[in-house]
Amino acid sequence: MPAAGLPDDGRWSSRTTQELDRHLAGIAAIMESHFRYEERQLFTVLETLALHANPHDVLGPL
């Protein structure tokens, strides 16, 4: 049975879909790690801003 979104035309074996699932899970983990790093970098910059308004009003929920 192919993974969700893959055509059911016999080209996708369970081994292929398992490999694809592992590959996509790895990409998701890398992206999550990268975005957490970026968030930490941005929070450092945002903390140094001298705003003349409430940060929530200017930037929205962070």
Residue spans of the domains in the chain: they are 14-59
User: Quick one: DSSP state of residue 48?
Assistant: T
pTM, rounded to two decimals: 0.51
User: Are 47 and 59 contacting, i.e. CB atoms less than 8 angstroms apart?
Assistant: no
Q: What integer pLDDT is reported at residue 48 of this predicted model?
A: 85
Distance CA 10, CA 24 (A): 21
Q: What is the pLDDT of residues 5-60, one digit of tens each?
A: 666 666 767 778 888 889 999 999 999 999 999 988 888 887 887 778 887 888 78
Q: Please answer whether residues 44 and 31 qualify as being in contact, where contact means their C-beta atoms are separated by less than 8 angstroms.
A: no
Contacts of 50 (CB under 8 A, 6+ apart): none
